[in-house]
Structure 1
Amino acid sequence: MSCLECPCACSRIASLAVSPDVRVDVRLGHTDTTYQPLSRIKSESFALELRSPSMVSFESNSDSYEVWSPLGSVCGGRGTVWLARHKPTNVQVALKIYELDKCEDEFELIQQEIRTVRQLRHRNIIHYLASFPVSQQLWVVMPLLGFTSASRLVATHFSDGLPEPALALVIKEVLQGLSYLHSKRIIHRAVRGSHILIDNSGRVVLSGLRHSTTIHDSTHWKKTVHCYPLEARYNLNWASPELLAQDLHGYSENSDVYSVGITVCELGNGEVPYRDIPSTLMLLEKLEDRVPFLFDASTVHSTENGQGMTTDSGVGGSVGGNLTSLAITQRLFTPSAHDFVSRALARFPDERPSASDLLSHPFIRQTRKFNSNLPQHLHPVVPLNQQTDIGDVIPDLLEKTLEETSLNDEVSWDF
């Protein structure tokens, strides 16, 4: 019996751990490498390859890391993401710690996530620096992405939504990451604001790959899949109609494009679409092609006192309280932004552009003319790891920052 077949969670986790002193490239870019379908990859082939002389060694033992302060929850509260320091290099990292006794139902998802992340190499896909068991826990070491998640940025600094230039820059890199995944026949199935992470330079990476699946079986390539995500309840608001319908047609990579459209509304409006309506009504709204849109002066009418007036939104009662924001009734998204959302949220998957095609959409192409990068559009937000120097203990300023960015589960930092 192999370790992966053993019923002991710790034994199976141990087989997925990166070997001690594995060396990985912590620079921004990652080149593509040969991909093999998940079903054909053996656990021993997951060691990360040596890529350049400038690599840093991240040891697979807990003594090499100083755990500082919690950043958020993961896997429905069954784990915690911590700010930590890699002692040998003094580098700040994000440390995801799963409590194995709470993760029995999610173990297969965690195992899949580790395997999937290790075989992918792209600048817009999250990568792991190390993973290893510690007693009844699994520790996963990742780069610290200073701007945190897109959903947290919106909740803490942009309550009316991101400005259009920032939104376009974020979605452009999300589409680049999805295009890469789709070229490998992988469906993400959980594109959402909390799975969009941003580093100090403005590079955007996709996380949440424990929800992904591959369009492949042992005998032939398929065009669609029919399996329902094990943890779909966390991502229902962003899920496509065909994924939720679970009919004979199944769903494909274009299911992710629909999720991108929902995410644009989430980040552009400052709130999650469908957040206040029952899941059954939400499914009905999606099947009837009543979808969200971007809130601005062209879609939200202003009353005499300057407050937004709720009109027929096409999404039941899910338009939310942001319609009363004066800023929303006075701003104006470009026609290309509205068109982008409309195309991404087409009811039927064959009517939606692919992620690669959307990279040529005018909403995305406008980023070529920008003379500024994403961090400049996020001003005055400062990355977590630039607010203070690294010390032996967390300075009071950093503690205060973490407390201010601590939010409820609705805006989790879900890696």
Structure 2
Amino acid sequence: MSPAAAVAASKKFIGAVKDEWQLYSDQAEDYTIGAPIGFGASSIVYSATFQPSPDAAPIPCALKVVDLDRLPPHALRLLMQETQLMSLSKHPNVLRVRGTWMNGHKLYIALRLMNAGSAADVMRYTWPGGMEEEVVKCILKQALEGLNYLHINGLIHRDVKAANLLIDDDGTVLLGDLGVAAPLWETDDGPGHLKKPLMGKRKSFVGTPCWMAPEVITGKQYDASADIWSFGITALELTQGRAPLSRATPSAVLTQVATAPPPKMERNGGVHTYSAAFADTIAQCLQKDPSKRPSAHELLASGFFKGAKKKGYLVGTRSAAYRV
């Protein structure tokens, strides 16, 4: 997609807002690469600074460097899709690409630096037994805002989990890793022109097993409600310290999710105690029948999430946790 087409497409995204964070550049010389801060099967994420001129203040950022030679064709296609979607998305809770360029067989993707890492990282180092309810609610509310933005624009994320909820120092939570996100709309004949989003169906077997919805595992058609199941599993993950069935083999996970009753929240059996309202919200998300699950919009309108604290609440709770 050309830059002009990308701009045309982004203008059609429902709920897009003015981006408070500037776009960087696609020029390698504007960046200074620092130490690695994350590793993937075919990529490394580095801390970096963006400084387009000597008199400009350096801006901390992250650089995802992907070795294209190590990607099979289908993964390369997904990466191109992820980069395109993350370039177009303009929402306070969806990670956006700030610049890209190629150097030999490596693709460089500039992103906002999320200093606290993922929700999974924060939990692992500060709340290994699970987070308290107000913290989880604050994180999930922001994730829901990002999901709702994707869904109303005819997109499904397909890999919602704590590792893909990125947190910054100011408490902002961004929905990241759109590598397996998929459109539920078709493109018009003209490049970059999107038809009105219509919530269609998908059949691809995509996602991470512990978080996959039953209809995805069984090969049935699915839509954005599959993300709501994954969202419910993520809620359990953040309260229990790990996702249900995370210690089972992949084949056992697939069988259990497809045939067993949905997992439930243990309100009083862990490190923290959780409200009946929270348990009920998770139960609604984990309905085996997709048509019975609430939408992201409906969840945001619920009394439970309307009572979520502002993002700044995470700053104080993280600091307190580090002091313990």
Place the TM-score, normalised by the shorter chain, in its bin.
0.7 to 0.9
Deviation per residue, 1:196-227 (Å, 9 max, x gap): 01112111110111111111236895631222
Contact 2:129 2:241 in 1 (8 A): yes
Q: Letter of the 1:375 partner, please give it.
A: V
**How far apart in 2 are the matches of 1:200 and 1:33?**
30
Deviation per residue, 1:282-331 (Å, 9 max, x gap): 2232223423333442xx3xxxxxxxxxxxxxxxxxxxxxxxxxxx25x3
SS class of match (1:60): coil
Percent of pairs identical after alignment?
Answer: 22
Q: Give the corresponding residue for 2:60.
A: 92
Q: Letter of the 2:148 partner, please give it.
A: S
**Counterparts of residues 376-391 of structure 1 (less than 5 Å):** 376-380=316-320
**How far apart in 2 are the matches of 1:263 and 1:55?**
27
Q: Give the corresponding residue for 2:147.
A: 178
What is the deviation of 1:85?
A: 1.5
Q: Give the corresponding residue for 1:335.
A: 276
**Counterparts of residues 66-145 of structure 1 (less than 5 Å):** 66-74=32-40, 77-88=41-52, 89-105=57-73, 106-145=75-114
State the TM-score, normalizing by the size of structure 2.
Answer: 0.85
State the TM-score, normalizing by the size of structure 1.
Answer: 0.67
**How far apart in 1 are the matches of 2:235 and 2:11?**
30
What is the deviation of 1:362?
A: 3.2
1:237 counterpart = 2:192:
no
What is the deviation of 1:104?
A: 3.1
Q: Letter of the 2:243 partner, please give it.
A: V
**How far apart in 1 are the matches of 2:31 and 2:88?**
25
Alpha carbon RMSD of aligned pairs, Å?
2.7
Q: Give the corresponding residue for 2:202.
A: 225
**How far apart in 2 are the matches of 1:147 and 1:371?**
13
Q: Letter of the 1:244 partner, please give it.
A: I
Q: Letter of the 2:72 partner, please give it.
A: E
User: Following TM superposition, where does structure 1 have runs of at least 4 consecutive aligned residues deviating by more than 6 angstroms?
Assistant: none
**How far apart in 1 are the matches of 2:30 and 2:316?**
35
Query: Which stretch shows the higher mean deviation, 210-219 or 143-152?
Result: 210-219
**How far apart in 2 are the matches of 1:335 and 1:273?**
19
> 1:381–1:128: structure 2 CA closer, same or farther, 3 Å change rule?
farther
Deviation per residue, 1:310-353 (Å, 9 max, x gap): xxxxxxxxxxxxxxxxxx25x31011111111111111101111
Q: Any stretches of 5+ residues in structure 2 without a counterpart?
A: 5-9, 189-194
Q: Give the corresponding residue for 1:158.
A: 127
Q: Give the corresponding residue for 1:365.
A: 306
> 1:286–1:91: structure 2 CA closer, same or farther, 3 Å change rule?
same
Q: Letter of the 1:60 partner, please give it.
A: D
Contact 2:161 2:234 in 1 (8 A): yes
Contact 2:47 2:63 in 1 (8 A): yes
Deviation per residue, 1:351-398 (Å, 9 max, x gap): 111111111233312226x7962212222367xxxxxxxxxxxxxxxx
**How far apart in 1 are the matches of 2:239 and 2:131?**
5
Q: Letter of the 1:123 partner, please give it.
A: P
What is the deviation of 1:268?
A: 1.1
1:35 counterpart = 2:13:
yes
> 1:59–1:278: structure 2 CA closer, same or farther, 3 Å change rule?
same
Contact 1:165 1:377 in 2 (8 A): no
> 1:57–1:242: structure 2 CA closer, same or farther, 3 Å change rule?
closer
Contact 1:79 1:97 in 2 (8 A): yes
1:251 counterpart = 2:192:
no
> 1:287–1:228: structure 2 CA closer, same or farther, 3 Å change rule?
closer
> 1:165–1:85: structure 2 CA closer, same or farther, 3 Å change rule?
same
Rg comparison, structure with higher value: 1
